[in-house]
Homo-oligomer: A and B are copies of this chain.
Amino acid sequence: MPAPSPETIDAVLRQVDAGLPQARETLFDLLRIPSISAQPARAADCARAAAWCRDQLAGLGFSAEVRPTKGHPVVVAHHPGPTGYTGPHVLFYGHYDVQPVDPVDLWTSPPFEPQYLDGPRGKRFVARGAVDDKGQAMMFVEALRAWTIAGGGIPARITVLLEGEEEVGSKNLEPFLAAHKQELAADLALISDTGMWDIDTPAITARLRGMSYVQITLKAAKRDLHSGLFGGSALNPINALTKILGDLHDDQGRIQLPGFYDGIKPVSNVQRAQWDSLGFDEGAFLGGIGLTAPIGERGYSPLERLWARPTADINGIWGGYQGEGSKTVIPAEASAKITFRLVPGQDETAVFGQFQRFVADRLPPGATVEYQGGGGTPGIEVATDSPWVRAAQDALAAEYGKPAVLVGSGGSIPVVTSLHKVLGIDALLMGFGLDDDQVHSPNEKFEERCFHHGIRSHARLLAKFAGG
């Protein structure tokens, strides 16, 4: 199989440009399907979205099927690529489900009636799922369409996997991957569910933080007590829990779990220098949410704290009386939920035990504790010297005229871990969202410019896979 010629690639890119209005209309059809995975009443809409995606891929010559799971179905589609193809087998992952739309009265238009509006950076698409992830997934499909129309056909061996439960925790995905391990075997996973550095600067997400979750309930007396009659003698579990959790961080912002930092791989000087060169404005980042000063571990830059250092955040706490006025009670118990964000090198299975030891070292006599949690997902660092990352860097540099930034993400993308664990493949995270896209919020939007260049970038990357 010959590598695609520069003329072929140009023809494909011109087709992307010419086909943009049609690509937008096609995406809008998908955006009109209210495939909210969290709402049982929307199950038929999820099935409808899956069938719609299957039909799109089948129309491009894929053997495409909707496969059942215990929850919403998965779309699986295969294309062998051109005869004699010797490049990588690419597994493209995306999701057709979307977040709920509440609070719906904050939307300026109905969430499932996509709008084509003017904005400060050109046209934008406004709808639930515009960017997360229908818009991003459809960029890849449109790149395939342009290749089919103007490039002689699908240029690479491709499996497409679109799930319908990403917004509700993907709990049926890992069993599905395991049950179809042979069928889904590939050389790399390609995912468009992340963001750019800014609208002119492409990015590849090369680090993801992992996570470990724990819930603690601290119990004291066997019943609620009168704080007058027992105060000064009887253990108060809220007092005790705040004292323990108040000790999670030392005065340098370091987390005091024993062994918590063991194994962390330091960020390379090259990586740190690149991040420093991005000119991240933490004041503006926090100002946007009404905060005036950062917290976090001393001695690290803002982006290191957000992308490459672990955290401990109490996500919820409760105990005793929460109603109006006062109630002079020493309650029987108090509880809290904590998530630890983890970075590469940390053992995500050890954090639960470390937390239990941290608590045991501080537990007052007479108190008992119960836990939920354990396990977790590890922090992930993509090997940036892989040929696929280089291929994506080349594609993005050609498209944008400047190099792609290797960024991190403070959040977790559990599917990346699942794909690595079950299928043994690394993920290439090339996304085109912007920080202000209102993901999961009212008035979610996707810039047409991002959509357009995203399709072109995918078309270029497909050429790279094909040796072009």
Contacts and interface: CB of A to CB of B under 8 A. Distances in A.
Contact of A225 (B289, B316, B337, B339): B289
Contacts of A222: 289-290
A420 interface: no
Nearest to A330: B313
B293 A364 contact: yes
Interface in A223-263: 223, 225-236, 238-239, 241-249
Contacts of A319: 314, 316-318
A232 B315 contact: no
A326 B373 CA distance: 9
Best-surrounded residue of A286, A290, A373 (most CB of chain B within 10 A): A290
Contact of A334 (B227, B243, B317): B317
Given A239-B249, A320-B315, A231 B293 contact: no
**How big is the A interface, by class?**
35 or more
A379 to B, nearest CB: 11
Contacts of A215: 326
A297 interface: yes
A51 interface: no
Nearest to A309: B232
A1 interface: no
Interface string A136-154: 0000000000000000000
Contacts of A231: 306, 311, 313, 341, 410
A63 interface: no
Q: List the number of copies, as a whole number.
A: 2
Contacts of A285: 233
A221 interface: yes
B246 A313 contact: no
Given A228-B211, A242-B245, A317 B314 contact: no
B247 A295 contact: no
A285 to B, nearest CB: 7
A58 interface: no
A22 to B, nearest CB: 34
Best-surrounded residue of A289, A315, A409 (most CB of chain B within 10 A): A315
B239 A314 contact: yes
A108 interface: no
B313 A282 contact: no
B293 A315 contact: no
A226 B411 contact: yes
A233 B341 contact: no
Contacts of A331: 315-316
Contacts of A316: 238, 319-322, 327, 329, 331
Nearest to A364: B295
A372 to B, nearest CB: 9
Given A232-B341, A233-B302, A317 B315 contact: no
B317 A230 contact: no
A205 to B, nearest CB: 12
A209 interface: yes
Given A241-B242, A297-B232, A227 B322 contact: no
21 contacts: A211-B228, A211-B328, A220-B291, A221-B290, A227-B341, A228-B409, A229-B410, A230-B306, A231-B311, A232-B341, A233-B295, A233-B296, A233-B302, A238-B314, A238-B315, A241-B242, A243-B246, A315-B326, A316-B322, A326-B337, A328-B411
Given A228-B409, A244-B246, A315-B320, 20 more contacts: A225-B289, A227-B315, A227-B339, A228-B410, A231-B306, A231-B313, A232-B309, A233-B296, A235-B293, A235-B295, A236-B314, A238-B314, A238-B317, A242-B245, A293-B366, A315-B328, A315-B331, A316-B320, A317-B334, A328-B339
Pick the 9 closest A-B CB pairs, nearest first: A246-B246, A228-B411, A293-B365, A222-B290, A316-B320, A232-B305, A231-B311, A316-B321, A238-B314
